[in-house]
Structure 1
Amino acid sequence: MRPFLLDLQAGGRPDFPALVEALGDVLPLLADLARTPQDPEWHGEGDVATHTHLVLAEAYDLAEGLRPEDRLVFVLAAALHDLGKALTTRRAEADTGQRRTISPRHADRGRSYLAYRLPELGLPYPVVHTVMALVGHHHDLGRTLNIGSERAYRRLARQANLPLLYLLEVADIRGRIAADQGARLEDLELFRLGAEEYGMWGNPEPYREWREVIDGTLAAFPPEYRDLVREQGILDYEAGLIQTPEEAVARGYAARAGFPQLVVTCGPSGSGKSAWVAGHLPDYDVVSLDLLREELAGKRADQSVNGRVLQEAKERLKASLRAGRRVVWDATNTRRDFRGIPLRLGFDYGALTTLAVFQPPLSTVFERNPVRTHAVPAQVVASQVENAEFPYVTEAHRTVVLDEFQRPVARTP
């Protein structure tokens, strides 16, 4: 980890320009924040860099008393929370006919931008993932409060550290000039009270009782079956379809006769997906979009047959799922809509779905690609990274994240 980050962890208070100078080689988007405007009604302080400078100052005060590891995560998230605005800010006409400055989905874009760049800083992966979660979910407190249900709080609590997320939003609101600042801070207190009432505040395992009930009831069954019943039950609960873990056990009864398993890879070209599949899933059926392009057009790079390739891939996947086999869909799948195709089929056929997410540092991707047997043009790899939508744990039953050495660095559940 860089000395600058070690100092930040130990209590340093660099201002935003100093942070841009220290981290700008890995996060060049930081330099664009000074040129990124904001709507004056909600951000009277000015551009995104000015806002972030104020948020960072508030974060230092709020960080008093945090453990060093939590301080590092919190301060980095405060500095990076609006990074995605540099990618998404535009002018648009509102319902009132006024032209407004908007930044749709900037939290999600910022999270994905950080996914392959934060590892370049030598940060431990738990730090990387916690920062990403805070950045990606920093607008979800208000949405959760508006819904107000226990399931909404549980869903957010299993994706982000709620006390740190709360502190980030306090710093975010204090660091801007707007007429609704007081009301927004009051809403945050209501959010905190709701999280405490539902037992989600500082709860690292919001579904512990579900795990205990389901795993205890199904102790005699294989772990894959317990995972399917538990994780599908959680998704069904969050969708409002069931209320209790006992209902999840009942809904999973049919799968006792057998069920397919689906692994979907996700990562840019050169991140090690196919090598991992060959080494770790040797007895799985493989649906590879690259191999299908080679089969149908004679070469992997031929994009003119993508429609035929996708249709054939879906048919082969459905055949494996119908037969109850284990199958892997091997493709980049860096976009949510692309990986959603096999995942939806997996859910439809009652499969246990797993996302295998490859998250090497950005430099590793570009270093490996030219020496691969089937190298991909550098501009294609760059496009995959720039347009990547890093997965959320809610997209599949299980998620495993692997580093540049194909070692698991995060696993859910």
Structure 2
Amino acid sequence: MHPFLRDLHAGAAPAFGDFVEALGGEIPLLADLHRTPQDPEWHGEGDVAAHTTLVLREAYRLADTHALGPDRRLALVLAAVLHDLGKALTTRRAEDDQGRMRVISPRHADRGRSFLAYRLPELGLPAPIITAVMGLVGHHHDLGRTLTAGTAPAYRRLARQADLQLLVLLEQADIRGRVAADRASKLEDLELFRLGAQEYGVWESAENTDPYAAWQEVITRELAAFAPEYRDLVLGQGILDYEAGLIQTPEEAVARGYAARAGFPQLVVTCGPSGAGKSSWVADHLPDFDVVSLDLLREELAGKRADQSVNGRVLQEAKERLRVSLRARRRVVWDATNTRRDFRGIPLRLGFDYGGLTTLVVFQPPLSSLFARNPARMHAVPAHVIAAQVENAEFPYATEAHRTVTLDEYFRPYPASPVLPGEKGAQGL
């Protein structure tokens, strides 16, 4: 772990400027926060750095008040420092519907989360802390939407992507760290959110409990005689159906999965920048899968992997080959970078359409390792291409597939396929 973070983990309470100085090399956007304005109606305290300074102070106080352990304290404090990092990428001025010029930062939580995805590993943090920080940063505006929905599926959907207790503490710090007229009402909303989370059983054990553990227990018991992959399909699709409002119980998920007992395809979609080790992992761990590789198709159709002029033909041919495998109920992997949500959505939607078990395997190596490893690759990619992939990446969420797992131990052997949350080297999102 980075020495600065090791001290923080041990109980230190550095100021925001200390974070900028110590971590600015790995997270350069920290230095831009003092130059990033905020709308004075909602942030009378000033720029993003001024706001973050106040949020950090509140985070320390809340961590002490709630006696957080070292790991959870570290996650909360880092999230407090990084929660608005994406504003440095998204902030602009725009007219509102009344013709007034406002400062807006659309989707800054999502952009900040994705920016951090390949930079937090540079700090030597354990994978669970990286996952926790990214969950807090990416979802720190979702409490209000969840409260507005007010349903058990909405709370469980959020609970499987972030620690709700830490999320509430982060939002308390966020609200108290700004000067605005709605502070009191926003704090009241957080209390209502907490009560809702308690009512739906996703609060008291938020740190460790899977909100769908009871569903998994029922499905495992009911389908004990079937293969694990079938149980994963029933559970994964059942969760998505429940969160979409289509079913209410795990028993309904079992019933809806009956048709798949006759057989179903399995689709693995890789996600990670060039040089992350995707194709090597596929070759080593999915030897019996059909492979749809966009790189190989470009080489087949144009003679060169780097020829982007045939991308339209490549995509059409890739989709057709994927359909052939899915129709035949075979196991198939779509091997490409897929760092953009719309790109990986193409194979995933086909996997869902054909009733397949979809697994999104996410490669999250430290950023520096991508550039260090690239020159020695058989098919090296220009450094600016890797940089663009990382800068434009939209890091996946757990809701995109039946199973979403991250391979984080870049310099260690990857686990055998199929990769499931909880295995060595895999971290569930």
Shorter-normalised TM range: over 0.9
TM-score of the superposed pair, with normalisation by structure 2: 0.95
SS of residue in 2 equivalent to 1:63: helix
* 2:343 alignment counterpart: 338
* 1:72 alignment counterpart: 74
* 1:180 alignment counterpart: 182
Distance in 2, matches of 1:392 and 1:410, equals 15
How far off is 1:177 after superposition?
0.2
* 2:322 alignment counterpart: 317
* 2:371 alignment counterpart: 366
Structure 2 residue runs without a partner (length 5+) = 415-423
How far off is 1:412 after superposition?
4.0
For the pair 1:260 / 2:262, whether they are aligned, the reply is no
* 2:354 alignment counterpart: 349
What is the correspondence of 1:10-409 to structure 2 with a 5 Å cutoff?
10-64=10-64, 65-201=67-203, 202-203=205-206, 204-403=209-408, 404-405=410-411, 407=414, 409=425
Q: How far does the alpha carbon of each residue in 1:86-114 deviate from its partner, in whole angstroms, 9 at most, with x for none?
A: 00001111111111110000000100111
Is contact 1:398–1:411 with CA below 8 Å preserved after alignment? no
**What letter corresponds to residue 127 of structure 1 in structure 2?**
I
Identity, in percent, stands at: 77
TM-score of the superposed pair, with normalisation by structure 1: 0.99
Distance in 2, matches of 1:245 and 1:339, equals 28
Distance in 2, matches of 1:410 and 1:149, equals 31
Q: How far does the alpha carbon of each residue in 1:180-239 deviate from its partner, in whole angstroms, 9 at most, with x for none?
A: 000000000000011011111033211111111111000000000000001100000000
Q: How many residue pairs end up in the alignment? A: 413
Distance in 2, matches of 1:296 and 1:410, equals 35
Is contact 2:340–2:392 with CA below 8 Å preserved after alignment? yes
Distance in 2, matches of 1:2 and 1:190, equals 38
SS of residue in 2 equivalent to 1:388: coil
**What letter corresponds to residue 137 of structure 2 in structure 1?**
V
Distance in 2, matches of 1:284 and 1:208, equals 30
Structure 1 residue runs without a partner (length 5+) = none
How far off is 1:6 after superposition?
1.4
How far off is 1:399 after superposition?
1.6
How far off is 1:347 after superposition?
0.2
Distance in 2, matches of 1:183 and 1:411, equals 37
Distance in 1, matches of 2:259 and 2:428, equals 24
Is contact 2:127–2:427 with CA below 8 Å preserved after alignment? no
SS of residue in 1 equivalent to 2:39: coil
How far off is 1:411 after superposition?
4.1
Distance in 2, matches of 1:180 and 1:412, equals 36
